[in-house]
Structure 1
Amino acid sequence: MNIPQLKMESVRGQLSLSITQPVQEIEQPAAELSIEQWPAELDIERTPGKLTIDQSQARADMDLKSISRRIEEFAQKGYSDWLEGMARLSQQGDELMRIENGGNAIASQAKENGESPMLEFNIAFIPSANSVKTNYEPGKVDLNWKVSHPKIEVKVNKPIHIYTPGIVHGGMKQWPSLTISVTGLELDEKK
C-alpha cells in the first residue's frame, strides 16, 4: 500500500546589500592667542649709610694736633698764664704793701719766684680710652614696584565637522521559493 506523501522543496531567499561607509571629518583649527605683557617698573631709592670717625682726641693725646688747635691751645694757655701771673703779682704786691705787719715777705717771694714748680707725672695710656669716637647711620633702601598685568586675548575657533552618512541599498539576490508536491498518488490511480 502506498501512502501519499507530501514533498516540500524550499529555496532560501538571499539578500544583496550594497553599503557605502559613512565618512566623518573633524578639523579643529588652533585657537588664536595674543598676549601682551608690559615690563614691571622698579624704582629704587637708596640712602647710603654714613660712618663718621672722630679721632681728633686720639691724635691730640699723641701730640699730633692740627695747627689751628695748637694755636687755640697756646692762646688759652697764654691767657691763663697771664691771669695767673697778674694774680700772683697782685698778691705779692699786697704782701709787700703790708711788710710792716711782719713776716719775711721779700725772702718768701724770692724763694717762690726762684724755684721751678714741682712737676707731676703719672702713667698715662696714649691714646686715652674711648678717644676715637665713631657714629654710624645705617643706609636705607626703598623698593617701589609697579606691576603691569598681562593683556590676554583668546579667539576660539569652532571645529569644522563634515559628516557624510553611510547608505545601505538592499536588494534580493535570490527570491525564496517553496515547492510542494504529492508523491504516492500515481500508483493508486493506476489500480
Structure 2
Amino acid sequence: MSVPQLRMESTKGQIGITTTPPVQEIEQQPADLEIQQPKADLSIETIPGKLTIDQSQAWAHMDLKPISKRIEEFAQRGYSDWLDGLSRMAEQGDELMRIENGGQPIADQAKENGEDPMLELNIGFVPSPFSVKTNYEPPKVNIDWQVNRPIIESRINKPIHGYKPGKVQIDMKQWPSLIIDVTGQEIDQKK
C-alpha cells in the first residue's frame, strides 16, 4: 500500500518598487549693489614767499646814488660846512680880539686857513660787507579737506526655489503561488 504524499510547491511573492527621485533646484541671484564714492573736497591756499633785497646801502658805498640822495647829502654837507666855518670865524675873531695876550694869532690863522686838511687813507671794501640787506618770509600753505562718505545702495534678491517631489510606485513583480499536489494516491480498491 502506498501512502499518499502531499507535495507543495510555493513561489514567493515579490514586490517591485520604482522610485523617481525628487528634484530640488535653488538659484540664488547675487544682490544688486551700487556704490558711489564722491571725491573728497580739497582746497589748498598758498601764500607765496616774499624775498626783499635792499641794496641801496651798497650802491651808496660805490657812490652810485640817486640824484635826490645826492641833493640831500650836498645840502646837509653845505649846512654842516657853513656851521663849521661860522664856528671857525667866531673862534678866530675871539683870538684876534685878544691879540694883546700874546702869541701870533694872525700867522697861525693864515697857516690854518691856507693849508688843506690832511687826508686820511684807510683800506676799505667797496661795497662794505653786509651792505646788501635781505629779508625772506617763507611761503604758507593752508590745506583743508573734507572726506565724503560712500553712498551704498543694496537690494537683496530672493532665491529662486523649484521643487518636484519624488514618487514611489509599488507593483507586484511576482505574485505568490502555492501548488499542492497529491502523489501516491493509489488506493486499494479491493477493500
User: Which TM-score bucket, shorter chain as reference?
Assistant: 0.7 to 0.9
Q: How does 1:114-153 map to 2 (within 5 A)?
A: 114-153=114-153
What displacement does 1:149 show?
Answer: 1.0
Structure-2 residue corresponding to 1:82: 82
> Are 2:81 and 1:93 equivalent residues in the alignment?
no
Q: How does 1:49-60 map to 2 (within 5 A)?
A: 49-60=49-60
3-state SS, counterpart of residue 136 of structure 1: strand
Is the CA contact (8 Å cut-off) linking 2:57 and 2:132 kept in structure 1?
A: yes
Structure 1: stretches of 5+ with no match in the other structure:
none
Change over 3 Å in CA distance of 1:23–1:119 after alignment to 2 = same
Farther off after superposition, 159-168 or 30-39: 30-39
C-alpha separation in 1, matches of 2:115 and 2:16: 156
**Between the two proteins, what is the percent identity of the paired residues?**
65
Change over 3 Å in CA distance of 1:178–1:69 after alignment to 2 = farther
What displacement does 1:3 show?
Answer: 9.3
Structure 2: stretches of 5+ with no match in the other structure:
none
- State the Cα RMSD in Å: 2.5
TM-score normalized with structure 2 length = 0.85
Amino acid at match of 1:107: A
Number of matched residues? 189
C-alpha separation in 2, matches of 1:180 and 1:66: 154
TM-score normalized with structure 1 length = 0.85
Amino acid at match of 1:127: P
3-state SS, counterpart of residue 117 of structure 1: coil
C-alpha separation in 2, matches of 1:131 and 1:6: 150
Change over 3 Å in CA distance of 1:172–1:73 after alignment to 2 = same
3-state SS, counterpart of residue 72 of structure 1: helix
Q: How does 1:148-159 map to 2 (within 5 A)?
A: 148-159=148-159
C-alpha separation in 2, matches of 1:6 and 1:63: 160
Structure-2 residue corresponding to 1:163: 163
> Are 2:74 and 1:47 equivalent residues in the alignment?
no
C-alpha separation in 1, matches of 2:28 and 2:97: 130
Would you identify which runs of 4 or more consecutive aligned residues in structure 1 move more than 4 Å?
2-8, 178-183
C-alpha separation in 1, matches of 2:5 and 2:108: 190
State the Cα deviation string for residues 80-128 of structure 1 (Å, max 9, x = none): 1111111111111111111121111111111001101100011111111
Change over 3 Å in CA distance of 1:69–1:3 after alignment to 2 = farther
C-alpha separation in 2, matches of 1:92 and 1:124: 36
Amino acid at match of 1:93: G
